[in-house]
């Protein structure tokens, strides 16, 4: 604990909301990644720190969670702070209280608010009315905490991000959106392969393209998985039916036929590619067991890194 002086947040992110990585510069993202590495090493050497001693995080969950809830709760504990699990079923927001009122009241109790919900507009409205930082822990459009953990994992396995190519095969969802933004801002090219009709939101895709152009990287959208994974350093996928789309399972299984990450598809990638998945995974559906449980898989490093990047975010945005 006495070694906290060796790890200090970047200093330029205090009070910032974390709604999408589009709001962060390349330097700010690199600072968060470096700080994540420092916190990871610090915990291995010294254990718990006191960077957030006396601070409280409110965690609003409208959706089920394993990694997000545990990593945020443990992260606050490891930083010397406190977290509160807030279910809409137990809050007045679940009975129709305006988001504005909830945001204003929670701001007087808490030092930051984390929310996992469906509509990205809900997170934006919460941030508009909150006087403390709001962290997006997943919406229908973005999953910035996951994307930071993804690029940290790639950096650990590859040594550098510059010039790498990441391929996402599957649904053009929140995970794909945030991954492509993170790649574009950290020097990586990216390709997204989706079945026709499952492309990202038009506005989001235009923002991704603009981000890549501004950062001198390349993003590609295709309906052919083999084209996306050609010479890829990283292959990524997610479940075909994300939360909220479970009733489309049968329809999506038919639409996504041919998009499974398996040995034949991965033969198009570089020999030393790594495989990522945000989890939970359906072996035999979006990914073959031989890949997700094979030597190229880095899924558990990726899951662990959720803890470290979120600690970096928490310690950086709180006063």
Q: Model confidence over 115-145: pLDDT tens digits?
A: 999 999 999 999 999 999 999 999 999 999 9
- Is 308 annotated as ligand-binding? no
DSSP 3-state of 31? helix
Contacts for 57 with CB less than 8 Å, ≥ 6 apart: 72, 76, 81, 82, 83, 84, 110, 111, 112, 113, 114, 314
pLDDT on residue 94: 67
Domain that holds residue 42: 26-142+306-318
- Is 95 annotated as ligand-binding? no
Are residues 236 and 292 located together in one domain of the fold? yes
Report the CATH number that the domain containing residue 248 is assigned in CATH.
Answer: 3.40.50.1370
Q: Model confidence over 48-106: pLDDT tens digits?
A: 999 999 999 999 999 889 999 999 999 999 999 999 999 888 888 767 889 999 999 99
Are residues 189 and 293 located together in one domain of the fold? yes
Residue 156 lies in a domain: yes
Are residues 155 and 298 located together in one domain of the fold? yes
Are residues 165 and 285 located together in one domain of the fold? yes
Please count the structural domains in the chain.
2
**Omega prior to 29 cis, within 30 of 0:** no
Concatenated DSSP letters of 96-161: T--HHHHHHHHHHH-SEEEEE-S-HHHHHHHHHH-SS-EEES--SS--HHHHHHHHHHHHHHHS--
Residue 4 lies in a domain: no
Say if CB 191 and CB 168 are below 8 A apart.
Answer: yes
Q: Model confidence over 184-240: pLDDT tens digits?
A: 999 999 999 999 999 999 999 999 999 999 999 999 999 999 999 999 999 999 999
State how far the Cα of 18 lies from the Cα of 114, in Å rounded to an integer. Answer: 9
Residue 17 lies in a domain: no
Are residues 155 and 259 located together in one domain of the fold? yes
- Is 92 annotated as ligand-binding? yes
Are residues 130 and 194 located together in one domain of the fold? no
Q: What share of the chain is helix, strand, coil (3-state, %, to 5)?
A: 50, 15, 40
Say if CB 291 and CB 297 are below 8 A apart.
Answer: yes
- Is 66 annotated as ligand-binding? yes
Question: What tokens appear for 153 in the block?
Answer: 């994992």
Residue 8 lies in a domain: no
Residue 52's closest CA among 91, 92, 83? 83
- Is 318 annotated as ligand-binding? no
Are residues 166 and 283 located together in one domain of the fold? yes
Are residues 294 and 150 located together in one domain of the fold? yes
For residue 54, report the phi and psi dihedrals to the nearest 5 degrees. 80, 0
Residues designated as active site: 116, 143, 146, 238, 278, 306
Are residues 138 and 53 located together in one domain of the fold? yes
Residue 135's closest CA among 145, 125, 120? 145
Average pLDDT, the chain: 95
Are residues 81 and 134 located together in one domain of the fold? yes
- Is 42 annotated as ligand-binding? no
Sheet-wide strand order for 56-61: 82-86, 56-61, 112-116, 134-136
Residue 15 lies in a domain: no
Residue 66 lies in a domain: yes
pTM: 0.96
Are residues 103 and 76 located together in one domain of the fold? yes
State how far the Cα of 84 lies from the Cα of 149, in Å rounded to an integer. Answer: 23
Residue 232's closest CA among 201, 259, 271, 260? 271
């Amino acid at each position: 604990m006495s070694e906290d002086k060796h790890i200090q947040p970047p200093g330029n992110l205090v009070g910032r909301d974390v709604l999408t990585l589009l709001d962060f510069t390349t330097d700010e993202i690199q600072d968060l990644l470096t700080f994540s590495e420092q916190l990871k090493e610090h915990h291995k050497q010294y254990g718990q720190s006191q960077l957030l001693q006396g601070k409280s995080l409110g965690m609003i969950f409208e959706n089920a969670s394993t990694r997000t809830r545990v990593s945020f709760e443990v992260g606050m504990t490891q930083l010397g702070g406190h977290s509160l699990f807030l279910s809409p079923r137990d809050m007045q927001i679940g009975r129709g209280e305006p988001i504005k009122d909830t945001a204003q009241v929670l701001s007087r109790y808490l030092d930051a608010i984390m929310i996992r919900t469906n509509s990205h507009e809900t997170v934006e409205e919460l941030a508009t009315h909150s006087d403390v930082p709001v962290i997006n822990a997943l919406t229908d459009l973005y999953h910035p905490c996951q994307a930071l953990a993804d690029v940290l994992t790639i950096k650990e396995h590859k040594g550098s991000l510059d010039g790498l190519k990441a391929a996402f095969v599957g649904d053009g969802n929140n995970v794909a959106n945030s991954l492509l933004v993170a790649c574009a801002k950290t020097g990586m090219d990216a390709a997204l392969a989706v079945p026709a009709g499952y492309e990202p939101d038009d506005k989001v895709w235009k923002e991704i393209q603009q981000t890549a152009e501004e950062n001198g990287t390349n993003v590609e959208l295709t309906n052919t998985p083999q084209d996306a994974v050609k010479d890829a350093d990283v292959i990524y996928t997610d479940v075909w039916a994300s939360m909220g789309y479970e009733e489309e399972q049968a329809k999506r299984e038919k639409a996504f036929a041919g998009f499974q990450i398996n040995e034949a598809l991965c033969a198009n990638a570089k020999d030393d590619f790594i495989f990522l998945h945000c989890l939970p995974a359906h072996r035999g559906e979006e990914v073959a067991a031989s890949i997700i449980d094979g030597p190229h898989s880095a899924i558990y490093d990726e899951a662990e890194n959720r803890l470290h990047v979120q600690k970096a975010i928490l310690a950086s945005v709180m006063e």
